[in-house]
Structure 1
Amino acid sequence: MIIATTPKGERRRQALVAAAADLLLEGGFEAVRHRSVATRADLPLASTTYYFESLEDLIARAVEFAGNAEVDGMRRRVGEVSHRRRGAEATVDLVLDLLIGPEGTDDGARGRLIARYERSVASARHPELRGVQLRLRQQLDELLADVLRRSDRVVRQEQLRRLVAVVDGAVVAALGEMNPEPRRAARGALLEVIDIVAPPTSQQPDRPRSLD
């Protein structure tokens, strides 16, 4: 790949990545083509092959761009969470705010949710996306663990993936329904297991409570 070594070149490269990320959100992977990306970025068609080795390389950068934007938004939300003991319902609502978005979010939020799961599934077929998805998953796990600790919950690394899997399964199933309510479906499923996968610290008498 020819690396953008000038400020102008870097701006063009970032504009192409942002354009591809927008197209991913709006129409999925099929919407990302050299011509559509160049048109969206208002740049010459040749720029997509000048700054990127291939369409797959451009898509991988767009996935990373979109994923990082989501993680940054999650990190801001976590930073606003106070550290106090929470019951099952309050804890579940915080987790869902992080993984799905606040209750009553608009169609744009639903589109971002669909795009996130599309990226996850696509990484199984496209090796160039796996590294990106693994890095994003690690950051998500860290933020999720932080939310649980701020709710005075025990964090066990082996249980974080179980928690996420419960939410993912409920959301994917709900998105395929005629009137999808992914948050409602995930909330019901997570309430059944939250005290098992992330019990209150008071249930761990031999483990000292964190003072932070």
Structure 2
Amino acid sequence: MATGHTDPQRRERILTATLDHIAEEGVASVSHRKIAARAGVPLGSMTYHFKGIDELLHEAFTRFAEHVAALFERRLNAAESAEEAREAVTDLIHELSDGPQHDLIVTHELYTLAARHPEYRELTRKWMIRSRQVLERHFDAETARQLDALIEGLALHRALDTAPHDRQLTSEAVKRITRTA
């Protein structure tokens, strides 16, 4: 592994380590020392790459929002009809809820920050706009807004329920919202 300034992947490792740490221990426990250790980088490189914890967190959450938005885009860009888009939304809900808890936890850590800090609220607002724009390729703006909320809500409920609902219920909920679209 390259060291010093010749390590082009160091910044990415730090961001990945930050998101992994948030998923395992929460935002409140993030420190330069903990992230440097997790990323396998010298402590001094933290301040070389990031002005402070706030910049580190904002960049990590921005990277995460890009990751989830890209997932939306991959699923929905492949759809060529409204019915395929409905299936893509159903697939997306199940992918988000059946996968590792990492993304679910990071999402809710971001939402908690957004509820308290305007700069994170702006990040989540941009993420929601991007998600809705992808949905608007298949549905009107009002329906896209409702679907975006449904995706978040059903994914959360499925992920946290000890007996998550099945695909049929998800599909029916998507159909109900998109019936007039």
Q: Could you tell me the TM-score, scaled by structure 2's length?
A: 0.76
Residue 53 of structure 1: SS of its match in structure 2? coil
Give yes or no for the alignment of 1:179 onto 2:163.
yes
Q: Contact conserved, 1:52 with 1:58, CA < 8 A, in 2?
A: yes
Percent identity, aligned pairs only? 25
Which residue of structure 2 lines up, in the alignment, with residue 101 of structure 1? 95
Q: How does 1:143-158 map to 2 (within 5 A)?
A: 143-146=134-137, 148=138, 155-158=139-142
Which residue of structure 2 lines up, in the alignment, with residue 202 of structure 1? none
Task: Give the AA of the match of 1:68.
Answer: E
Give yes or no for the alignment of 1:130 onto 2:127.
no
| CA shift in 2, pair 1:183/1:129, >3 Å | farther
1:58 Cα shift?
0.7
Give yes or no for the alignment of 1:115 onto 2:109.
no
Q: Contact conserved, 2:90 with 2:174, CA < 8 A, in 1?
A: no
Which residue of structure 1 lines up, in the alignment, with residue 81 of structure 2? 84
Residue 172 of structure 1: SS of its match in structure 2? helix
Which residue of structure 1 lines up, in the alignment, with residue 130 of structure 2? 139
Which residue of structure 2 lines up, in the alignment, with residue 56 of structure 1? 54
Q: 1:9-43: CA deviations, max 9, x gaps? A: 76433321222122233443245322221012111
- Measure the CA separation in 2 of the matches of 1:37 and 1:125: 23
- Measure the CA separation in 1 of the matches of 2:21 and 2:166: 23
Q: Contact conserved, 2:76 with 2:89, CA < 8 A, in 1?
A: no
Task: Give the AA of the match of 2:131.
Answer: L
State the number of aligned residues: 178
- Measure the CA separation in 2 of the matches of 1:22 and 1:181: 28
Larger Rg: 1
1:195 Cα shift?
0.5
Structure 2: stretches of 5+ with no match in the other structure: none
Q: Contact conserved, 1:96 with 1:102, CA < 8 A, in 2?
A: no
Give yes or no for the alignment of 1:20 onto 2:4.
no
1:85 Cα shift?
5.3
* Higher share in helix: 2
| CA shift in 2, pair 1:158/1:43, >3 Å | same
- Measure the CA separation in 1 of the matches of 2:15 and 2:154: 31
Q: Give the ranges of 4+ consecutive aligned residues of structure 1 lying more than 6 Å apart after TM superposition.
A: none
| CA shift in 2, pair 1:71/1:41, >3 Å | same
Task: Give the AA of the match of 2:86.
Answer: V
Task: Give the AA of the match of 1:177.
Answer: D
Structure 2 residue aligned with 1:73, among 71, 92, 103? 71
Task: Give the AA of the match of 1:158.
Answer: E
Q: Could you tell me the TM-score, scaled by structure 1's length?
A: 0.67
- Measure the CA separation in 2 of the matches of 1:37 and 1:8: 20
Q: Contact conserved, 2:93 with 2:154, CA < 8 A, in 1?
A: no
